[in-house]
Structures are given as structure tokens and as C-alpha cells.
Amino acid sequence: MSSKYYFDFVFSGFGGQGILIAGNLLCYSAILENREVTFFPSYGVEMRGGSANCYVVLSDSQIGSPIPSHPMGSIIMSTPALIRFLPIIKNNGLVLINSDIISTDDINRKDLDIRLIPANKLSIDVIGNERLANMVMLGYLVSATKCVKIESLVKSIKEVVSEKHKKLIPLNEKAILAGAELFEKDKRC
């Protein structure tokens, strides 16, 4: 690929964990930075508890396919997601795993940059609500990859959050910044 700016990710977990919102938010942030984007969501028929995943591709040129065969990075929020998507991640790819939910016993690849993120705990500690673990994970991913600016991510929240949840925008912002802060702390260690 001749593009200087190119990122592809898969986000996956259970319905109700905000997987699709995280992917959508990343896309809006990239659009704000004048990038090309594709967003390909998929979810089970269940309202909560079923599978939810999305592929996100960001580029500075036209994107050939919305579904990368071997994404370079991922956010994994459930054991079924780990089992399904870990085998397809590109060698040396970045894999963020919600360690509050997923056992490390299910991690069977040594050729990946795997980060165990206590996203639920951090979300509870910082915000008082574990339902924002998705934003903690997204803040960490964006800080680690520099695929968009954290400022763009925060600015785009109002575009993704539904009208009835607008009051939660400051909490989403705090969760994103908590994830970014955790990355900076991990980087220093």
C-alpha cells in the first residue's frame, strides 16, 4: 500500500459494551482530520450479550476494502471475541484485551504486542461506571497508535452519542483521557 497514513482495526465484544460506538467515534475523529474511513459493523440479533464487532480502516488515500484480512490492531472485550479474532491479527499487531473480563489462559500467540487493560476497573475508579470501559480502551488505542489525535476523539464524542445520552459526554471524555493516561504510564514503565 503506497499510503503513508494507514490503520486498520477490529473491535469486538458483547453487545452492550459500546463496541460499535467506539468504532464509530474513531471514524468521526479521522473524518475530522480529513482522512478516508470505512466502518463495517456486525452484531448478533440479541440486544445485549450477543456478539458485536466492527472493522475500522483509516487512510490518507482511497480504501480498497472495508474488511482487512489481517488487521494491525484490535480492541477485544470478551473471550468469544478473543477466540474469534486473535488468529487473524497481523504479526506484531497491537491487541488490547480487557483483562477484567478475559482470562490470559486464552491468549495463545507470542507474535503480537498484547496489552492487558483493566478497562472495567479503571472505568469504575475514574468515572464510577464500568459501562465506559470501551472509551478507556479507545483512549489507550489512539494514544498507542497515534491514528488520530486525542483532541479529535474528544471533540467527536458529541457526534456519536445519542441525544438521550448527551449528559454523558463529559464522562466519555474522562474515560478516553483515563485510557490515554494509562498508555502514557505504561510507556514510562
Tell me whether residue 68 is in a domain: yes
Tell me whether residue 179 is in a domain: yes
Tell me whether residue 172 is in a domain: yes
Tell me whether residue 69 is in a domain: yes
Q: What pLDDT, on a 0 to 100 scale, did the predictor assign at position 43?
A: 84
Q: pLDDT tens for residues 41-87?
A: 998 766 667 899 999 999 999 999 999 999 999 999 999 999 999 99
Tell me whether residue 128 is in a domain: yes
Q: pLDDT tens for residues 108-139?
A: 899 999 999 999 999 999 999 899 999 999 99
Q: Which residues form the domain of 165? A: 6-188
In CATH, what number is assigned to the domain containing residue 70? 3.40.920.10
Cell of 84: 474469534
Q: What pLDDT, on a 0 to 100 scale, did the predictor assign at position 9?
A: 98
| This prediction's pTM | 0.94
Q: Which residue has the cell 505504561?
A: 186
Helical residues (DSSP H) of the chain, grouped into ranges:
19-32, 79-85, 119-127, 133-145, 150-160, 169-188
**What phi-psi label fits residue 75: left (phi over 0), alpha (psi between -120 and 50 degrees) or beta?**
beta
Q: What pLDDT, on a 0 to 100 scale, did the predictor assign at position 1?
A: 44
Contact partners, residue 6, CB within 8 Å, separation at least 6: 57, 58, 59, 60
Tell me whether residue 1 is in a domain: no
The closest alpha carbon to 15, from 52, 45, 41, belongs to: 52
Count how many domains the chain has.
Answer: 1
